[in-house]
Structure 1
């Protein structure tokens, strides 16, 4: 019995923590809706819905776990009724229930829906019973077709997304990490390079070229000057 009670306490603590997480996500979503109003950021809303869906899935998986006790086998009943205010109960319910009195017990431990909700549910069931069988069958078939069409679209989009993701992950490798590290080490520290030593012996010498010959043109220049002077001494009219 002690082992079962301990397992039940552990399971309730974990379940309570999961419920608190879901509650916090819902509160954040409500605050976001109140602040943004008409300026809706749909990707942010989709992320919030994804987080809430994942948290609910985790909670359901925890409840269906083999190690979790079956909660339907246990009864929930108040251990003590008191009309006075209870600080622990007020803190646990965030100020909604000040005391666990006779007025709050039927609402807190209700296993059936509220009377108004129950009357509406009975009215809908009576309306369904009065409807024609053929008409109801046609509406059901139309509804099933719409749901099937939506499911086909979702499955097609999912298959395309999975195919695209698989093609991205299966791309051939175009680089090697080891070769990259070796190249960086070779460029930075010269690792892997072999130093070639010069063999002993006479070093090769460059062939000596004859010095360039310098030609002088002093005679030619002087001859030209002499000719010019001789031409200037001749009078143009002495012919």
Structure 2
């Protein structure tokens, strides 16, 4: 128990230090924006954003660390309330919470709902009070019937899925893993193949025959001479 408490205290101290660093960087950025405004140097803004991003990343890494306890598994409960001002609490909250009284605890520790949620809850209770008992019982029965029908559909689908899965696992094996691996090795690397060697002796040679000669006869080209005579046509009615 003491070991867990020590680990919790160390984790809270480290987380608180990271949060304080992020808070300081944000305050510096806000002051820079308020004082310099648009006249500020843009690279300085980029540097501020880079520092804040790195600090947030460090905080998230610390929260996700295996040695850091899971904080959502722990509850924060008020052990003692006091209406008198508390100086340590005032310093820790930078003057926002002067005392740990009944006015601050419900809002800080969420021991009561938000005002909007509380108003909606009261409105629903008032509406429920106006409904007749028989009508309310009928609506409850219809709702239960619908829920039961949906549950039956879900259970039926689950049984079918489990049956199908079981039938797949119970099917006989139609292949051999060893033979498949041997086939892949044979196709990929040639494992298991035997190389045939030729017996010693003179290798048969093929006699090359000269290609046949084709006698081409000279073709006599007959020259045809054509004389074209242009005759002058004399018109019979020329003068």
Shorter-chain TM-score: which interval? 0.3 to 0.5
- Residue 108 of structure 1 deviates from its aligned partner by 1.6
Q: Deviations over 1:83-132 (max 9, x none)?
A: 11000000100111100111111222238995569999999999999999
- Residue 37 of structure 1 deviates from its aligned partner by 2.0
Write the distance in 1 (CA, Å) between the matches of 2:163 and 2:20.
37
Write the distance in 2 (CA, Å) between the matches of 1:42 and 1:179.
68
Write the distance in 2 (CA, Å) between the matches of 1:186 and 1:168.
30
> 126-135 vs 168-177, which deviates more?
168-177
- Residue 229 of structure 1 deviates from its aligned partner by 123
Write the distance in 2 (CA, Å) between the matches of 1:148 and 1:51.
55
Write the distance in 2 (CA, Å) between the matches of 1:20 and 1:175.
64
SS in 1 for 2:222: helix
Write the distance in 2 (CA, Å) between the matches of 1:167 and 1:39.
74
Write the distance in 2 (CA, Å) between the matches of 1:220 and 1:171.
88
Distance 1:95 1:161, change over 3 A: farther
Distance 1:77 1:139, change over 3 A: closer
- Residue 40 of structure 1 deviates from its aligned partner by 3.1
Write the distance in 2 (CA, Å) between the matches of 1:102 and 1:41.
48
Higher helix share: 1
Extract unaligned runs of 5+ from structure 1.
none
Write the distance in 2 (CA, Å) between the matches of 1:140 and 1:41.
66
SS in 2 for 1:37: helix
Distance 1:175 1:203, change over 3 A: same
| Contact 2:7–2:69 (Cα < 8 Å) also in 1 | yes
> 227-236 vs 71-80, which deviates more?
227-236
TM-score by length of 2: 0.47
Q: Deviations over 1:178-198 (max 9, x none)?
A: 999999999999999999999
Distance 1:149 1:215, change over 3 A: same
Write the distance in 1 (CA, Å) between the matches of 2:176 and 2:10.
49
Q: Deviations over 1:144-169 (max 9, x none)?
A: 99999999999999999999999999
| Contact 2:105–2:111 (Cα < 8 Å) also in 1 | no
TM-score by length of 1: 0.47
Extract unaligned runs of 5+ from structure 2.
none
Does residue 180 of the first structure (1) align with residue 180 of the second (2)?
yes
**Count of paired positions:** 239
Distance 1:91 1:2, change over 3 A: same
Distance 1:196 1:13, change over 3 A: farther
Distance 1:131 1:188, change over 3 A: closer
Distance 1:80 1:2, change over 3 A: same
> 43-52 vs 220-229, which deviates more?
220-229
SS in 1 for 2:232: helix
> 145-154 vs 165-174, which deviates more?
165-174
Write the distance in 2 (CA, Å) between the matches of 1:163 and 1:110.
48
